Amino acid sequence: MDYEAIVLGGGPAGSTAAALLARAGQRVLVLEKERFPRFHIGESLLPYNQAIFAELGVVPALEAAGFPRKYGAQFHLGNDTRHRRFEFRQGRFTRYTETWQVERAVFDELLLNNARRWGSEVREGWAALRCGLDERGRWVEAAEITGGKPVRLHAAFVVDATGRANFTGNQEGLRVVHPQLKKVAIFAHFHGVRRDRGEAAGDTVIIRLARGWFWLIPIGAEKTSVGLVMDQEDLARAGEPPERVFERHLSQARPLQRRMERAERVGPWRTTSDFSYYNRRLVGPRLLRTGDAAGFMDPIFSAGVFLAMRSGKLAAAAVQEALKQGTDGRFLLAHYEREIWRSMRFYWRMVEGFYTTPFLEIFMEPRENFSLVSAVNAVLAGEVEGGWKLRWRLELFFALVRLQRRWALTPRINFDASTAPDPFAFLSRGFPQKAMK
Ligand SMILES: Cc1cc2nc3c(=O)[nH]c(=O)nc-3n(C[C@H](O)[C@H](O)[C@H](O)COP(=O)(O)OP(=O)(O)OC[C@H]3O[C@@H](n4cnc5c(N)ncnc54)[C@H](O)[C@@H]3O)c2cc1C
């Protein structure tokens, strides 16, 4: 056997799994098709990432990187009629209350180097081409992307962490795309975006429009990531370049216009598809799918990196235990799969809700009856192991959302109110031309 584990992909899921397995003394190979540092989207973390950072031993390196600290998240309606800030430390059930916003090129390289530091062999610029099973265990055919001859490598286990490339899931035809969440994202990095004062300066700011939403994420002392998520069909119908569509939607997002009055774009416009999906199976014989290679959901609640790292950690634990037992670990893998489903469903339900008005109406009205706000706060921070005390509160939250469909428990949201004159228009005059250069 060449390795105990081959990890396909060196993003957050892959580098977490590799670091933990190598630290446990296993021979680990990471195949990463890109050369780091490379751009990646997904810049806002969740506080519960901190526990995993501590386990990986990367907290000092992350501190030194100087990323902005994130203490909360804001949700605004584009017409400025409602807004809501969640401050993680105010949640009764929230055990970790702050984290960082990151530039992924830097963050991902730091994590991959950490996997190296613990002893993983990392081959950058190597793509997995095929993966299969034989009497010896798992094999992976891989080649250098510069055109090298494919080689066949053997391992007891393979961890698929190929992100939305969804390598083994596609190979096995397992991907199921959410029919209502076929989104697309248009985004860029900017300098000069106005930040809030104090701790709120590091918040993720979400601006919900009638159709679509913007994110604003401060990822450096100067740099801010700003993006628009909308239905892919709407973009196709618009028949305009993505940056024009971004600009048009910006005029419906007053809280963002104000913040971007002096913004200047410092990176290229980028567009990516943002389809939510899951694979019908998350494990196979001696194979575990992690992170986006298990499933991907719309990034509204910034859970992607946290779920990716958490699944990388759980995959490493399952593989480590199976190796210790000297078995194929089928029961351990089945347990892993159940756990990943459970945590994915948690956010999946919230994401589906976010695109419905009754959910927003309840979500945007803070009422601490039965500690509901605390429960939502904990979920937004990454609490997926909160047990029954969290679960019944979330069930109650969703019951209120169902009631809200028929009876207005909280005031109705009116997206058309955006036609009223913008009292802050004088602040945003001149922005689009400057930012769209
Ligand atoms: C528009 C948008 C905004 C987002 N915003 C956020 C956010 O704010 N916060 C958040 O937490 N998440 C966000 N996400 C989600 C986040 O990007 C992902 O959930 C996260 O990156 C998943 O990590 P991963 O390790 O599973 O995959 P990735 O980070 O995608 O890593 C996969 C790696 O595998 C490599 N790879 C692929 N195929 C192969 C192959 N055949 N062989 C070898 N290597 C291969 C790739 O090069 C890549 O480096 C966003 C996603 C989108 C689309």
What are the tens digits of pLDDT across the range 404-429? 999 999 989 988 765 444 444 443 33
φ and ψ at 92, to 5 degrees?
-65, -30
Distance from the Cα of residue 401 to its chain's centroid: 25
pLDDT digits (tens, 9 = 90+) for 372-383: 888 889 999 999
Q: Coil, strand, or helix at residue 46?
A: coil
pLDDT-flagged residues of the chain (< 50): 419-437
pLDDT digits (tens, 9 = 90+) for 132-153: 999 999 999 999 999 989 999 9
- Sequential DSSP letters for 162-210: -GGG-HHHHHTT-EEEEEEEEEEEEEEEEE-----SGGGGG-EEEEE-S
Q: Give residue for tokens 């601490």.
A: 368
Distance in Å, CA 164 to ligand 1 centroid: 6
Distance in Å, CA 11 to ligand 1 centroid: 6
Choose one of 30, 33, 171 to mutate for the ligand 1 pocket test, by most ligand atoms within 8 angstroms of C-beta. Answer: 33
Beta bridge partners of 155: 3, 138
Which structural domains are found in the chain, ordered by start?
Answer: 3-67+102-174+280-346 (3.50.50.60), 179-274+418-436 (3.30.9.100), 355-406 (no CATH)
Tell which atom from ligand 1 comes closest to the C-alpha of 273: 53
d(CA 120, CA 250) in angstroms, rounded, equals 45
Distance from the Cα of residue 186 to its chain's centroid: 16
d(CA 131, CA 139) in angstroms, rounded, equals 6
Distance in Å, CA 91 to ligand 1 centroid: 29
What is the reported pLDDT for 286? Answer: 98
What is the reported pLDDT for 417? Answer: 64
Ligand 1 atom 19, closest CA: 304
Distance in Å, CA 340 to ligand 1 centroid: 17
What is the reported pLDDT for 195? Answer: 96
What is the reported pLDDT for 329? Answer: 96
Tell which atom from ligand 1 comes closest to the C-alpha of 294: 26
What is the reported pLDDT for 90? Answer: 86
Distance in Å, CA 298 to ligand 1 centroid: 12
Q: Is the peptide bond before 37 cis (omega within 30 degrees of 0)?
A: yes
Contact 295, 278 (CB under 8 A): yes
φ and ψ at 393, to 5 degrees?
-70, -40
Phi-psi region of 350 (alpha: psi -120 to 50; beta: other; left: phi over 0): alpha
What is the reported pLDDT for 422? Answer: 46
Binding pocket residue ranges, ligand 1, CB within 6 Å:
8-14, 31-34, 40-44, 127-128, 161-165, 167, 185, 272, 274, 291-293, 299, 302-306, 308
Tell which atom from ligand 1 comes closest to the C-alpha of 306: 11
Q: 130 vs 13, 151, 168, CA distance in Å?
A: 20, 10, 8
Ligand 1 atom 4, closest CA: 42
Choose one of 30, 292, 309, 344 to mutate for the ligand 1 pocket test, by most ligand atoms within 8 angstroms of C-beta. Answer: 292
Q: 115 vs 36, 316, 361, CA distance in Å?
A: 13, 12, 44
Tell which atom from ligand 1 comes closest to the C-alpha of 185: 1
